[in-house]
Copies of this chain bind each other. A is one copy, B any other.
Amino acid sequence: MVTQGNDPNAAPLFSPRGSAQEIEEGRAFVPKFDAAGLITCVVSDAKTAELLMVAHMNAQALAQTVETGEAWFYSRSREKLWKKGETSGHVLRIAEIRVDCDQDVLWLKVEQAGAGACHTGRRSCFYRAVVRDAPGAPLTLEFRDDERVFDPAKVYK
């Protein structure tokens, strides 16, 4: 149970999951974390609607995001809580959080404090399209919207 701050007597932030009807049509926030304790988060730019990145939160990251108004995630590769922008300064300020019908995905609409959300230096992580060069050939990638807006070598020293 995740409570507010570190006070064990504080009210819990999330509610227990009920019936499908309650989950889909109710007003209780009952996020579904997977077997690893994570929920998928889709992040888009609140102004342009551009899809920026997809990451994961555990309950603690979600609680800290709500408390601070800036996006925290859980890194599966580094196995630790992680504030987006802690190294780069490119924090994501939360404009709105939406949840999907079965409450197992969060959608964060954010304002970017920095130039780009992707660690490769692009505005978005989705800078390549999947294309088929010829029938029978393996699928390949084509770079689109791939301009670098910052130099990752300078930002991640």
Give chain A's interface residues, CB within 8 Å of chain B: 4, 10-15, 24-29, 40, 42, 44, 49-51, 53-54, 66, 96-101, 105-107, 118-120, 122, 125-130, 132, 136-144
| Inter-subunit contact B4/A130 (CB<8 Å) | no
Contact among B24, B29, B99, B139 with A126 in the assembled complex (CB-CB below 8 Å): B99
Alpha-carbon distance between A118 and B62 when the two chains are bound, in angstroms: 25
Contact B97 A24 (CB under 8 A): no
Q: Are A101 and B129 in contact (CB-based, < 8 A)?
A: no
Find chain B residues with CB under 8 A from A27 CB: 128, 140-143
Are A53 and B11 interface neighbours, CB within 8 A?
A: no
Q: Is the CB of B98 within 8 A of A29?
A: no
B49 and A42: CB pair below 8 A? Answer: no
Min CB distance A16 to B, Å, is: 10
How many copies are assembled? 2
Nearest CB in chain B to that of A4: its residue? B136
Closest 6 CB pairs of A and B: A49-B49, A100-B125, A98-B126, A97-B130, A29-B139, A54-B105
Closest B residue, CB atoms, query A42: B42
Interface CB pairs A-B, < 8 A, 17: A10-B136, A11-B136, A11-B138, A12-B138, A14-B138, A28-B140, A28-B141, A29-B130, A29-B139, A29-B140, A44-B51, A51-B98, A53-B100, A98-B126, A100-B125, A101-B120, A107-B126
Q: Of B24, B122, B132, B143, which is within 8 A of A66 by CB?
A: B132
